[in-house]
């Protein structure tokens, strides 16, 4: 079983205040901490669990800066076998389709059974890269996967739909699965494991090394134009309903009816 897991290095915006830079198109990232994208972390764990169960290999592919090497080393420490980091400022990385084209270009020469990636990125939340990647490499895909069963030449994927509904689909391999959080419990990468993983291959490549035409994955090729980033204004109004319980209920019901909510 050969798996390729695609991971992204993202800022944690849950604690620090998000500020838009004066250019209106970028965010001040000086106070963020960075780590592996949450859903990608589950994809790494799932790929290692499959390797532990069925044997085989796991390759990591990531587009990101040098400082993301620590994240990649952690994935290698957890059991992935080798990694490729792509760094090239010409990539229009705000567009998931361009990202998918680059990832596809990086793995086109590889034989694989499965590609796994998180179903969504914490930073831009497009939920599109994995699906676009399946299209680019021309294989089946299943998104929002919460359980994986590897069968002979096939994979059974349990997809999490809304309202607690699960859909079970069977896909011929090779296939792309976008992994939902909660599918497993990602393990810890101990420092000694990270140190040992220094011996594993981590290659760095630019678009030219991968023979990807920058014109096909750059801003010119992208049909997505980032026009403006802004923090939505907080608007809130609270109305306190006074009176006896019956009176309160009547007033509340009339507000809900007027607002078209019931």
Give the binding-site size for other proteins (rule: CB under 8 A): 22
Stretch that binds other proteins, among 156-164, 184-192, 200-208, 229-237 (CB under 8 A): 184-192
The span from the CA of 127 to the CA of 118, in Å, is 9
Q: If you ran DSSP here, which 8-state letter would residue 164 be given?
A: G
Beta bridge partners, 114, equal 3, 175
32 binds other proteins per the rule CB under 8 A: yes
Among 66, 188, 228, 242, binds other proteins (CB under 8 A): 188
Q: Candidates 50-58, 182-190, 226-234, 250-258: pick the segment binding other proteins (CB under 8 A).
A: 182-190
Measure the CA angle with vertex 77, ends 73 and 78; round to 5°.
120
CA distance 199 to 82: 10
- Residue 19 as a binder of other proteins (CB under 8 A): the answer is no
Instruction: Lay out the site mask for other proteins across 190-229 (x = CB under 8 A, - = otherwise).
Output: xxxx-x----------------------------------
The two three-digit tokens of residue 231, written as one number: 């923090």
Regarding 185 and contact with other proteins (CB under 8 A), the answer is yes
* Sole residue written with tokens 């838009």: 20
Closer residue to other proteins, CB minimum distance, 33 or 211: 33
Nearer to other proteins, 45 or 136 (CB): 45
CB of 187 to other proteins, least distance (A): 3
E-assigned strands of the chain? 2-7, 9-12, 33-36, 57-63, 82-86, 114-118, 140-150, 154-160, 166-172, 175-179, 202-205
């Amino acid at each position: 079983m050969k798996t390729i897991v695609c991971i992204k290095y993202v800022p944690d915006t849950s604690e620090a205040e998000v500020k838009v830079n004066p250019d209106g198109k970028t965010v001040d990232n000086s106070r963020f901490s960075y780590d592996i994208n949450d859903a990608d972390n589950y994809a790494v764990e799932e790929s290692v669990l499959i390797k532990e169960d069925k044997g085989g290999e796991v390759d990591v592919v990531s587009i990101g800066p040098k400082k993301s090497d620590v994240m990649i080393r952690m994935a290698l420490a957890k059991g992935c076998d080798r990694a490729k980091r792509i760094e090239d400022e010409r990539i229009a990385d705000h567009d998931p389709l361009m990202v998918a084209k680059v990832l596809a270009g990086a793995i086109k020469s590889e034989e694989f059974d499965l590609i796994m990636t998180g179903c969504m990125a914490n930073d831009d939340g497009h939920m599109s890269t994995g699906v676009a990647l399946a299209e680019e490499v021309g294989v089946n895909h299943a998104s929002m996967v919460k359980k994986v069963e590897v069968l002979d030449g096939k994979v059974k994927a349990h997809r999490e739909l809304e309202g607690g509904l699960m859909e079970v689909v069977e896909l011929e391999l090779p296939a792309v699965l976008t992994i939902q959080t909660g599918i497993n419990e990602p393990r810890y990468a101990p420092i000694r494991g990270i140190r040992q993983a220094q011996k594993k291959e981590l290659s760095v490549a630019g678009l030219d090394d991968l023979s990807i035409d920058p014109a096909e994955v750059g801003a010119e090729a992208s049909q997505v134009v980032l026009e403006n980033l802004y923090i939505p204004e907080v608007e809130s109004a609270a109305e306190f309903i006074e009176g006896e319980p019956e009176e309160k209920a009547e007033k509340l019901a009339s507000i809900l009816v007027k607002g078209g909510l019931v």
